């Protein structure tokens, strides 16, 4: 997400513009993910379509970047001959220069400004670390993103200050495992405190966390600092201790629920979201039941549920993928249904309540704003609201969407 944002602002500054229609594009950039096989298959299918398009429009350029580009490298060009450039994740800065060079070869895309300015926007994503050393047994990330590296603290603070000077109101700090951030003597809670001291910055979010690294200092910063949003994404993956151990997650379900209790005690209105994998090798009906019961008990503010997908090089790749596709689909649907039911109950209870929202965007017929807990609220159009923190009262809840009126 962040590499896309960065490339976006660079290319826009170089004179490119985004197109709504596929047929109007002269450069296609696919930023890919290889975490699940399905994501890679989608990219192959896109590439097939773009390749057909290129047969009639030979001067278009096709660029593939991201994790899948890192994993498959030159094999992508072997399979799709019309791909012009493959840019992996490990040397992204050099890759971005190559993308700019390739794009600027086109007449319609002249280099107009080498002093890249950040687009003025309201929410900005800042990456604070890359890679991961956790080696969860199902996960390809350590193989395609490399070992964990926390970025220079001063560079992060400077980047955050710069975007805020350019009008940004909310910063989302990104990394595979932000709560294990450590640069010299600065850990993640200290980094958060210092980002929060930037004048004119209104809100801070961060993504994503590993339960084993969630400590009391971090909970304390979320609880006590008014710029911190009341939301945490804390992937649980499974509630069966047997499966958690096979996944190499380094915590038990009891420890995970202890963290949830601590978070809710310190920040009563916190929204906790999670990731779940169903159909991991060896997951029995009983193991699945533990996870389903945890979803019912914890009542997550939202969740992503994934069907286990074997990834090359990982430990789990050597285990027998013994839960059938049909059963994975069934478990996936059950978790999703339960989660949708809980979400609907949470949002319907919000009707009549008051919230501070940050107005992020002008949408289709409404302004899009967000509560501190991360819920989207639609309010009536008024361009002056953009980037403002407003008080709203929730008037209506529809499935997962909230509609509110501005109050003074």
Residue 50 binds to ligand SF4 (criterion: CB under 6 A): no
Q: Which stretch binds ligand SF4 (CB under 6 A): 12-20, 129-137, 258-266, 317-325?
A: 129-137
Q: How far apart are CA 29 and CA 31, in angstroms?
A: 6
> Does residue 258 contact residue 218 with C-beta atoms inside 8 Å?
no
Residue 236 binds to ligand SF4 (criterion: CB under 6 A): no
Q: In the 3-class helix/strand/coil scheme, how is the chain assigned residue by residue?
A: CHHHHHHHHHHHHCCCCCCCCHHHCCEEEEEECCCCHHHHHHHHHHHHHHHHHHHHCCCCEEEEEEHHHHHHCHHHHHHCCCCCEEECCCCHHHHHHHHHHHHHCCCCCCCCCCCCCCCCCCEEEEECEECCCCCCCCCCHHHHHCCCEECCHHHHHHHHHHHHHCCCCEEEEECCCHHHCEECCEEHHHHHHHHHCCCCCCEEEEECCCHHHCCHHHHHHHHHCCCECCEEECCCECCCHHHHHHCCCCCCHHHHHHHHHHHHHHCCCCEEEEEEEECCCCCCHHHHHHHHHHHHHHCCCEEEEEECCCCCCCHHHHCCCCCCHHHHHHHHHHHHHHHHHHHHHHHHHCCCCEEEEEEEEECCCCEEEEECCCCEEEECCCHHHCCCEEEEEEEEEECCEEEEEEEC
Which one, 210 or 227, has the nearer CB to ligand SAH?
210
Binding mask 199-218 toward ligand SF4 (x if CB under 6 A, else -) reads: -----------x--------
Tokens linked to 357: 């929202």
Residue 274 binds to ligand SF4 (criterion: CB under 6 A): no
Residue 275 binds to ligand SAH (criterion: CB under 6 A): yes
Out of 127, 176, 209, 291, the residue judged to bind ligand SF4 by CB under 6 A: 176
| Smallest distance, ligand SAH to C-beta of residue 308, A | 5
Q: Which does 281 bind (CB under 5 to 8 A by kind): ligand SF4, ligand SAH, none?
A: none
Which one, 132 or 173, has the nearer CB to ligand SF4?
132
Residue 142 binds to ligand SF4 (criterion: CB under 6 A): yes
Upper half-sphere CA count for residue 194 (Cβ side, 13 Å): 15
Please, which of residues 277-316 interact with ligand SAH by CB under 6 A?
Answer: 277, 306, 308-309, 311
Residue 246 binds to ligand SF4 (criterion: CB under 6 A): no
Out of 139, 168, 222, 394, the residue judged to bind ligand SF4 by CB under 6 A: 139
Out of 31, 230, 237, 238, the residue judged to bind ligand SAH by CB under 6 A: 237
Which one, 67 or 260, has the nearer CB to ligand SF4?
67
Residue 135 binds to ligand SF4 (criterion: CB under 6 A): yes
Out of 2, 12, 25, 35, the residue judged to bind ligand SAH by CB under 6 A: 35
Q: Which does 135 bind (CB under 5 to 8 A by kind): ligand SAH, ligand SF4, none?
A: ligand SF4
Q: Which does 36 bind (CB under 5 to 8 A by kind): ligand SAH, ligand SF4, none?
A: ligand SAH
Please, which of residues 305-324 interact with ligand SF4 by CB under 6 A?
Answer: none
Which one, 252 or 361, has the nearer CB to ligand SF4?
252
Binding mask 102-141 toward ligand SAH (x if CB under 6 A, else -) reads: ------------------------------x-----xx-x
Q: Which stretch binds ligand SF4 (CB under 6 A): 127-135, 166-174, 190-198, 355-363?
A: 127-135
* Residue length of the chain: 408
Which one, 83 or 323, has the nearer CB to ligand SAH?
323
> Does residue 232 contact residue 209 with C-beta atoms inside 8 Å?
yes
Tokens linked to 253: 């379900």
Which one, 236 or 369, has the nearer CB to ligand SF4?
236
Residue 176 binds to ligand SAH (criterion: CB under 6 A): yes
Cβ count within 10 A of residue 269: 12
> Does residue 125 contact residue 174 with C-beta atoms inside 8 Å?
yes
Which one, 227 or 249, has the nearer CB to ligand SAH?
249
Rounded CA Rg of the chain: 22
Residue 134 binds to ligand SF4 (criterion: CB under 6 A): yes
Q: Which residues bind ligand SAH (CB under 6 A)?
A: 35-36, 132, 138-139, 141, 176-177, 208, 210, 235, 237, 275, 277, 306, 308-309, 311
Q: Which residues bind ligand SF4 (CB under 6 A)?
A: 132, 134-136, 139, 141-142, 176-177, 210
């Amino acid at each position: 997400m962040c590499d896309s944002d960065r490339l976006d602002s660079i290319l826009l500054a170089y004179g490119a513009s985004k197109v709504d229609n596929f047929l109007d594009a002269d450069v296609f950039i696919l930023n890919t993910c290889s975490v699940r096989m399905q994501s890679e298959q989608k990219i192959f299918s896109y590439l097939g379509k773009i390749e057909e398009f290129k047969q009639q429009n030979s001067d278009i350029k096709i660029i593939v970047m991201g994790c899948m580009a890192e994993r498959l490298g030159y094999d992508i060009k072997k399979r799709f001959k019309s791909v012009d450039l493959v840019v992996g994740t490990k040397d992204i800065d050099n890759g971005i220069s190559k993308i700019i060079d390739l794009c600027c070869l086109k007449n319609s895309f002249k280099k107009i400004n080498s002093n890249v300015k950040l687009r003025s926007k309201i929410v900005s994503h800042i990456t604070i670390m890359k890679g991961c050393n956790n080696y969860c047994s199902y996960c390809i990330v350590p193989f395609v993103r490399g070992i964990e590296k926390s970025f220079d603290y001063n560079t992060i603070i400077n980047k955050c200050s710069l975007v805020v000077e350019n009008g940004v109101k909310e910063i989302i700090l990104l990394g595979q495992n932000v709560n294990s951030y450590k640069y010299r003597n600065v850990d993640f809670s200290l980094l958060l405190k210092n980002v929060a001291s930037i004048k004119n910055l209104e809100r801070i979010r961060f993504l994503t966390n590993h339960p084993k690294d969630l400590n009391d200092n971090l909970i304390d910063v979320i609880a006590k600092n008014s710029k911190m949003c009341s939301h945490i994404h804390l992937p649980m993956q499974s509630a069966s201790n047997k499966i958690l151990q096979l996944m190499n997650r380094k915590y038990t379900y009891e420890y995970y629920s202890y963290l949830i209790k601590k978070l809710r005690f310190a920040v009563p209105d916190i929204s906790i979201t999670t990731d779940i994998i169903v159909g991991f090798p060896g997951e029995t009906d009983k193991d699945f039941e533990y996870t389903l019961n945890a979803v019912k008990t914890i009542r997550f503010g939202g969740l992503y549920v994934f069907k286990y997908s074997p990834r090359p090089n990982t430990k789990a790749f050597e285990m027998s993928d013994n839960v059938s596709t049909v059963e994975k689909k069934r478990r996936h649907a059950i978790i999703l249904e339960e989660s949708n039911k809980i979400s609907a109950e949470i949002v319907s209870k919000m009707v009549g309540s008051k919230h501070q929202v940050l107005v992020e965007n002008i949408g289709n017929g409404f302004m899009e704003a967000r509560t501190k807990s991360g819920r989207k609220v639609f309010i009536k159009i008024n361009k002056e609201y953009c980037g403002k923190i407003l008080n709203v009262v929730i008037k209506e809840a529809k499935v997962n969407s909230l509609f509110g009126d501005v109050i003074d």
